[in-house]
A and B are shown apart, each in its own frame.
Chain A
Amino acid sequence: MKPLEIIRNCLILSLLLAMSMVTASAHADVVVIVSAKSSITLLTAAQTTRIFLGKVDSFPDDSDAFPIDQAEGSAIRDEFYSKVVHKSPSQLAAYWAKVIFTGDGRPPEMLESDMAVRKAVAKNPNAIGYIDKSAVDKSVRVILAP
């Protein structure tokens, strides 16, 4: 192959890769929710990150924050951590390995589905979770749509 052809092929390949990433990320729409009874109306991605990584245990208004995770390996969990926290599943596992084995904390409790998370968040004014946009109803409030 001539050098020009190699460069052209590389460009095409990277374009295809970029396109496949765009379609992949447009798949689901994760939103961060609190109970409709909560006084929290808005949270930044950075504030949400700190709550889910256990770096703080309260909301910016000092009320207790109780984060709820979704099941390991679920698409919604991977999307939340990639879009909001900027960590891949293995980066997240490595992070918790450090925290757990230094005795500094434990990962959030886990629930199995959008429905279960919505229900748990709806009845606890201190809870915070993430679900697919399509699962939102009046019992919860969206505070971040990344």
Chain B
Amino acid sequence: MAIGYYFFALIGIFACVTNAEATGTDQPMFTFGGFGSLGVSHSSMRLGDYTLDSTIPKGAGLSEDWSTGNDSRIAGHLAAQFTPKVSAVLQVVSEYNAGNSYQPEVEWANVKYAFTPDAYIRVGRIALPTFLDSDNRDVGYSYVWIHPPIELYRQLAIAHSDGVDAMYRVDIGEVGNTIKAIIYGENTIERATSKSISKDMWGIFDTIEYGPTTTHVGYQKRLSASENLQTGVTGAWVRNSDLSVGVNYDPGNWFAMSEWIQRKSTTNITAMYVSGGYRVKKFTPYLTYSQNSQGSFLPGFPPPSSNSILLANRAQSTVSLGVRWDFMKNTDLKLQYDQVKLSDNSNGFLANVPTNVNLYGTTFHVISAVVDFVF
């Protein structure tokens, strides 16, 4: 959190130093905007909760008949352009979280120094560009689905890091190439009974854009440990390395995209999805298949506890069929049906499944509706 204070201190300094200086364009120094989603979901599985994220304490299924927890949020975004080279971003998001509340949290707070329009360095709380849509995954209005495919995006253990990153963009003819590097980062995720701590994070991410095609490759490493909030005991530090690859083809009337990740820590897990859609006037029907593998334990670690075996066995797959309807300016309505199949030895990502209940091999259904907006 210390970095947050540095950020506000920096903003103050820059604001004073640059107050009188013209920014070079007619655009205002501060711009405020925001986005939000209002969603409900219902699950046919009554023995576990269908939750999007490990920080969400309860959801549709066991705890609630209809739940608003997965897809409802509101966020404010303040951008400041102090000089042509110095800018800052503050984004605060209120969504259902581990504290069983919608307590707002600072998602991003960083100051950017642009050496040229094609090269910058940022300090503060920064989004991790693991996937094609990981830094805009909260902005439902910016993509077609109700939410990004759960099997892949649950592998995005960390959405942001506190630290330093840099970007360099170079164009070769009509090919745009953007390289981002996390130079240093750390992160803490709070859950109901535990805390995940990450440090010594670094990563490199390359995005190539050519006409309607975008490809994205990322590699990141960090050390992680889990702190038990009841006992206060922190477990051993584990080295994590994630390799992610994605491709998106969007010529205008239709799109197809696919992403894949391999995560290595004490286990090796892969996850992927393929998705496609077709745009008919204001309607975009889409179809997605996504899956994640069971974690296989890697050699060289102490024998896993029963809890880590449970956490590693979360293989499931989903077929999603949905439609996005752009019925109003800056507003959309989406409906989605998911058929979720749990693997033969897994309760998947279901939360709050009572002890000794096994749902191995079960198939269940989820329906969701959401309204997304930007302002």
Write the residues of chain A forming the contact surface with B, with a CB cutoff of 8 angstroms.
Answer: 44, 46-47, 50, 55-57, 72-73, 86-91, 93-95, 97-98, 100-103, 106, 109
In angstroms, Cα B252 to Cα A57, docked, is 23
- Which residue of chain A has its CB nearest to the CB of B112? A103
B252 engages A87 (CB within 8 Å): yes
Kindly state the separation between the CA atoms of A94 and B140 in the bound complex, as whole angstroms: 9
Query: Which B residues contact A (CB, under 8 angstroms)?
Result: 25-27, 31, 33, 35, 75, 77, 79, 87, 89, 91, 108, 110, 112, 117, 127, 133, 135-136, 138-139, 141-143, 171, 174, 176, 209, 211-212, 251-253, 279, 282, 326, 329-330, 332, 374
Closest to A73 in B: B329
Query: How far, in angstroms, from A56 to B159 measured CA to CA in the complex?
Result: 27
Contact across chains for B117 and A97 when beta carbons are under 8 A apart = no
Q: How far is the CB of B251 from chain A (nearest CB, A)?
A: 6
B330 touches which of A56, A88, A93 (Cβ 8 Å): A93
For the complex of A and B, the 6 pairs showing the least CB-CB separation, nearest first, are A86-B252, A90-B326, A98-B142, A103-B89, A97-B142, A98-B136
Among A56, A57, A101, contact of B142 (Cβ-Cβ < 8 Å): A101
Q: A100-B77, A103-B89, A109-B26 are in contact. List 15 more A-B contacts (CB 8 A).
A: A47-B174, A72-B329, A86-B253, A87-B252, A89-B329, A90-B282, A90-B326, A94-B143, A97-B35, A97-B141, A98-B136, A101-B142, A101-B374, A103-B108, A106-B27
Cα-based distance from A84 to B127 in the complex (angstroms): 31
- Residue with the greatest number of chain B CB neighbours at <10 A, chosen from A55, A97, A101: A101
Cβ-defined partner of B329 (8 Å) among A46, A93, A98, A106: A93
A87 — which chain B residues lie within 8 A by C-beta? Answer: 252
* Known interface pairs A98-B139, A100-B77; A46-B108 also in contact (CB < 8 Å): no
Do B117 and A57 touch (CB < 8 A)?
Answer: yes
Q: Looking at the assembled complex, report how far the CB atom of A14 sits from the nearest CB atom of chain B, in whole angstroms.
A: 13
Bound-complex Cα distance A69 to B351 (A): 48
CB-contact partner of B27 in A46, A89, A97, A109, under 8 A: A109
Candidates B135, B251, B332; contact of A90 at CB < 8 Å: B332
Neighbouring B residues of A46 by C-beta, 8 Å? 174, 211
Minimum distance in angstroms from B37 CB to a CB of chain A? 12
Q: Which of A47, A56, A97, A106 contacts B374 (CB 8 A)?
A: A97
Cβ contacts under 8 Å, B176 to chain A:
50, 55-56
